């Protein structure tokens, strides 16, 4: 029983810290290639709840998902022609970069925490 309580006490700070990222995030997804520079951008949203991140995917692809670590990093799933990525929360910003399979292009996300406005 004592060992269980110790493990519970050690896990609580990590869970509490991950909760700091919970909420809605919005911003842009940029598609960049070495040969053509920025070739596209679109507005995207991400929801974070209980340590799980869900980011809207490209048209025809499913959501991009990931688990938020206590240090603010997120290992995101790959999608379409793009591989997995490590994202990072820093204050009110979130960034990630997905390389494509050939290494010539990347899909970058730059999001900010959405500010809740009081209802009238």
Cα–Cα distance measured from residue 98 to residue 114, given in angstroms and rounded to the nearest whole number:
23
The answer as to whether 71 is a domain residue is yes
The answer as to whether 47 is a domain residue is yes
The answer as to whether 118 is a domain residue is no
The answer as to whether 119 is a domain residue is no
The answer as to whether 40 is a domain residue is yes
Q: How far is CA 119 from CA 26, 54, 116, in A?
A: 20, 25, 9
The answer as to whether 72 is a domain residue is yes
pLDDT tens for each residue of 26-40: 999 998 888 877 778
Which pLDDT score is estimated for 67?
95
Which pLDDT score is estimated for 37?
74
Which pLDDT score is estimated for 57?
78
Which pLDDT score is estimated for 7?
41
Query: What range defines the domain where residue 103 resides?
Result: 2-113
What is the tally of structural domains in the chain? 1
The answer as to whether 48 is a domain residue is yes
How remote is the C-alpha of 33 from its chain's centroid?
21
With a cut of 50, list the residues of the chain below it in pLDDT. Answer: 3-17
The answer as to whether 6 is a domain residue is yes
Which pLDDT score is estimated for 56?
83
Which pLDDT score is estimated for 119?
53
> CATH no. for residue 25?
2.40.128
Q: List, in sequence order, every residue forming a beta bridge with 89; answer none if it has no partner.
A: 94
Cα–Cα distance measured from residue 80 to residue 13, given in angstroms and rounded to the nearest whole number:
36
């Amino acid at each position: 029983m004592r060992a269980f309580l110790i493990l519970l006490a050690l896990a609580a700070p990590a869970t509490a810290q991950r909760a700091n990222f919970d909420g809605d995030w919005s911003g842009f997804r940029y598609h960049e290639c070495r040969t053509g520079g920025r070739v596209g951008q679109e507005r995207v949203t991400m929801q974070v709840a209980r340590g799980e991140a869900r980011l809207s995917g490209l048209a025809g692809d499913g959501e991009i998902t990931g688990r938020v670590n206590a240090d603010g990093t997120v290992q995101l799933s790959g999608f379409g022609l793009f591989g997995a990525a490590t994202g990072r929360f820093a204050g009110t910003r979130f960034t990630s970069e997905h390389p494509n399979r050939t290494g010539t292009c990347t899909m970058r996300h730059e999001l900010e925490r959405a500010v809740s406005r009081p209802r009238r």
